[in-house]
Amino acid sequence: MEMLHKRILEDGNALSENVLKVDSFLNHQVDPELMYEMGTQFKNYFKEHGITKIFTIESSGIAPAVMTAMQMNLPMVTLKKEASKILNGDVYQTTVHSFTKGKDYELTLSKKYVTAEDCVLVIDDFLANGEAALGAARLAEESGAKVAGIGIVIEKSFQPGRKMLEDKGYEVYSLARIAKLGKDLIEFVK
């Protein structure tokens, strides 16, 4: 996606070989026009997959996921990273390791927002090791729902996430695929 590639090159900050900071347009400050275009790309790619719900993990995936859901005229469900006192245990949960934060957390989905008849599209901001997307897919499948695919905003293709997800049978579609990062270096997959 050319518009996203341009923003990554102009405003992204490669802090190291593994860390790309894009907080000026994706997660701390959000560019609504870019999010809308991302939603358009995801909608166009997945429109024939029979999707009934869009899932994302709080919080950085919310903007692209809601734009995708809006354009597909579908509900968007946010999977929680923090335990909620009001969910009353009527939830699906799985443990996920966060590459960015370097810790485990309990990913939580209220049983009220998913059924065995659902066909889910998971949207996430980054794909590195695949743990977050895999956790979201596990929660959907625990309910009996089908996972139609996984949409990623920025994939770090030099890390094992895509292969791991594809080896488990998931279709992965990424808007930007990074081949290499380094201090002030960003290279895309050609």
Residue-wise pLDDT for 86-133, tens only, equals 666 799 999 998 877 788 988 999 999 999 999 999 999 999 999 999
Is 132 annotated as belonging to a binding site? Answer: yes
Is 88 annotated as belonging to a binding site? Answer: no
Q: pLDDT in tens for each of the 190 residues of the chain?
A: 999 999 999 999 999 999 999 999 998 999 999 999 999 999 999 999 999 999 999 988 999 999 999 999 999 999 998 766 666 679 999 999 887 778 898 899 999 999 999 999 999 999 999 999 999 999 999 999 999 999 999 999 999 999 999 999 999 999 999 999 998 899 999 8
Average pLDDT, the chain: 94
pLDDT, position 85? 64
State the pairing for strand pair 20-21/172-182. Answer: unpaired
Is 130 annotated as belonging to a binding site? Answer: yes
Is 27 annotated as belonging to a binding site? Answer: yes
Is 129 annotated as belonging to a binding site? Answer: yes
The DSSP secondary structure of 33-96, one letter per residue, reads: HHHHHHHHHHHHHHTTS---EEEEETTTTHHHHHHHHHHHT--EEEEBSS--TTSTT-EEEEEE
| CATH of 35-178 among 3.60.20.30, 1.10.540.10, 3.40.50.2020, 3.40.50.2300 | 3.40.50.2020
Is 20 annotated as belonging to a binding site? Answer: yes
Q: Where do the domains of the chain lie?
A: 35-178
